[in-house]
Structure 1
Amino acid sequence: MNDQQRQFILAFMAYAAQRDLPLEKLCRISGIDLEMLTSGGPVEISRKQFNDLWLNACHLSSDPLFGLHLGESLQLAALGIVGDIVKSSTTVGQGVEQAVALTPLITDLFSVVVERDIDTFTLRFIPDDQHRAASPFAFGQMINFFFVFTVHELDGLILAHIRPQRVAMPFAEQTARELERILRCTPTHSENSYAITFDRKYWDMPILTANYALQESLLQKINAGSPAKSASNSWQDKVQQYLWKNAYLGIVPLEEMAANFNVSPRSLQRKLKDEQVTYQELADDVRKSLALHYLQTGGYYAKEISYMLGYNELSAFSRAFKRWTGTTPAGYRGILND
């Protein structure tokens, strides 16, 4: 198992822990040595073990779309391979081509090719039939993961809410609504095709490398002991941690948060109410902390911060900031410079 594969498995485990899956049991029934994996010791995971890992994660979480939700939750900086792509690319197209070339470092279940025409570019996933036959369940989950990870990380590269023009894949009818929510496109059922198509206009857009640096600084803040870092297993802490770790793309809506934890929005609201807190209060607390963090770094205008925090108007952000701190963003920055 190479470094990129280990990093993917560790990200998988971190997400499983966030979903309250018992990691020791998950690894034991999948035949994987968790202690060796987390300690950095030599670990080899067979195709059967990898397939069982996905199968058992879906079973323990009661979530048949575990891979889809993993892709939705995984932040850009979590996979070192993505950081290398960002640092060595200037446009989305260059980043996509490098990502395609490096895909074999993460999986050999399929390869990826890029097809371009005058209006669109398409990422087409080509199954390795032999490997897919050995790990059929893992294959489906990894395809789901790569599809949604592609969409959400393109967002992070250019700070835009990208919608694919077309997604073609086999899927169960009962999953269509969730696929559409996460992929932002009504999926087209296809038995033998796995492809995701985007507008060509994104291809030559410059990558905002500063956004990758922003993620790294946020992760450092979290790991150093941010409000999200907690030993508690309460819903409040789980929600707050998720908000922090995905904050570089703005504040996650309640519906998306609930779906990622495989509960209904109403159920999540009720669980938080039992802990005497609301989702809005948690979101505002994270917004406040992020606003202060962004202003303290000195690298962002108030208008940029307003956008990153999900405010449609700078005036709305300024009012909220004054409510939190008693001063305006400009006033706070002035205090920092004194």
Structure 2
Amino acid sequence: MLYIDKMKTDYQPFISALLAYAVQRDVHPEKLCRLAGIAFDKLKAGNLKSIQQTQMDHLWLNVINLTGDPLFGLHFGESLQLSALGVVGEIIKSSTNVGEALTIASTLVPLITPMIGISITHNNDAFIVHFDCLDKQQEKQAIYKQTLDLLMVFVIHELDGLILEKIRPMKIKYKNNISDINVKEYTRIMRNQPQRSKLENSITFPALYWNEPILSSNYELQKILVKQHQELLIQSSSKNTFQAKIFNYLLANSYLGLVSIEQIAANFNVSARTLQRRLKLEGVSFQQVADEARKTLSIQYLSAGEYSVKQVSHMLGYNEISAFTRTFKRWTGMAPSGFRKQDG
């Protein structure tokens, strides 16, 4: 476990992921870094020597302010993948099932925040992930709440990536007040309505998932997606259309199939109708953008030669290989199996 100690104070991968997501939310990363006192050029080059907690605090406050999204932590958690933290290989080498991977991942929380720790308890029916406040003075602060939301959502959605299944928590306990206007959004993203608790923040999952084997090949796909996602940081100045932002979001969040227009609209803090209208002004429909993202990903995965047509079909959200085959033929004039052999 030496790699964990070595990486405890390295916030750079996390900040890079946050900035890449901020780009999707119409916030320029260089401006955000400048306001937080972070050297953007050094961060981009990967040689930023140290980042202070006060800089992290300013980064959070400014990104919330510039996006105008009071639920930024919730939405960022929905979009973040564990591979963005640069620890995929170690987790895969050290884990055979969900329980082991989750236990190791819980030790990596210092890569995100020193305010919150994660612990796990078990019983015969469930395992419970607890989010423990390590700094009681910060518990009432806005940054603490945003970070808590991020971590709770991150855990739920990352379990999906471990086993390629959309998991619904049995119970969510939450110490913060949620306004009536935000209950629906919390319930959508957390997949269960949080219950107010005076004692703890926790998520309860069915015990059957604990020993479920993890799919290491899925993390390899995530690594590809995260690389693409972070490259957007550099390309953002020349691709600043709303269409490009939706396309990039689809690429970065497609490892469990493309998300719905309602999910994307909520993540961009607009209605589905507004999202469609903004795309129409640029001469495209949401379906066209989603179709192009699937085409791009399918060609990339098949060209890699490491994944079967069935895997690629599943990863892109198709329930039947036949449906994927028909669509791929429409895109390229070839069956995916033939394309894979030709490209290989």
TM-score (norm 1): 0.89
Maintained 8 Å contact 2:84/2:226 = no
Which residue pairs with 2:66 in the alignment? 60
What is the SS of the residue equivalent to 1:247? coil
Which residue pairs with 1:186 in the alignment? 193
Counterpart residue type for residue 276 of structure 2 = Q
Residues of 2 paired with 1:245 and 1:159: CA distance? 16
**Structure 1 residues 229 and 289: alpha-carbon distance in aligned structure 2, compared to 1, 3 A threshold:** farther
**Structure 1 residues 292 and 267: alpha-carbon distance in aligned structure 2, compared to 1, 3 A threshold:** same
**Structure 1 residues 319 and 230: alpha-carbon distance in aligned structure 2, compared to 1, 3 A threshold:** farther
Matches within 5 A, 1:181-260: 181-220=188-227, 231-260=238-267
RMSD between aligned alpha carbons?
A: 2.5
Which residue pairs with 1:114 in the alignment? 120
Which residue pairs with 1:84 in the alignment? 90
Which residue pairs with 1:307 in the alignment? 314
Which residue pairs with 2:3 in the alignment? none
Aligned match for 1:44, one of 51, 54, 62: 51
Deviation per CA, 1:125-149: give whole Å up to 9, x if none.
Answer: 111234525x822211111011111
What is the SS of the residue equivalent to 2:124? coil
Shift in Å, 1:332: 2.6
Maintained 8 Å contact 2:88/2:219 = no
Instruction: Please tell me whether residue 123 in structure 1 is matched to residue 132 in structure 2.
Output: no
Give % identity.
45
Unaligned 5+ segments in structure 2 are 1-6
Shift in Å, 1:75: 2.6
Counterpart residue type for residue 159 of structure 2 = L
Instruction: Please tell me whether residue 141 in structure 1 is matched to residue 154 in structure 2.
Output: no
Maintained 8 Å contact 1:108/1:131 = no
Instruction: Please tell me whether residue 324 in structure 1 is matched to residue 331 in structure 2.
Output: yes
Residues of 2 paired with 1:88 and 1:139: CA distance? 30
Which residue pairs with 1:150 in the alignment? 155
Count how many residue pairs are aligned between Structure 1 and Structure 2.
333
Unaligned 5+ segments in structure 1 are none
Maintained 8 Å contact 2:310/2:321 = yes
**Structure 1 residues 197 and 4: alpha-carbon distance in aligned structure 2, compared to 1, 3 A threshold:** farther
Shift in Å, 1:327: 2.5
Residues of 2 paired with 1:232 and 1:171: CA distance? 39
What is the SS of the residue equivalent to 2:337? helix
Shift in Å, 1:94: 0.4
Counterpart residue type for residue 83 of structure 2 = A
Aligned match for 1:287, one of 280, 294, 303: 294
Residues of 1 paired with 2:190 and 2:103: CA distance? 21
**Structure 1 residues 89 and 35: alpha-carbon distance in aligned structure 2, compared to 1, 3 A threshold:** same
Which residue pairs with 2:167 in the alignment? 162
Residues of 2 paired with 1:221 and 1:46: CA distance? 28
Residues of 2 paired with 1:178 and 1:251: CA distance? 19
Shift in Å, 1:157: 1.0
Residues of 2 paired with 1:85 and 1:131: CA distance? 33
Instruction: Please tell me whether residue 298 in structure 1 is matched to residue 305 in structure 2.
Output: yes
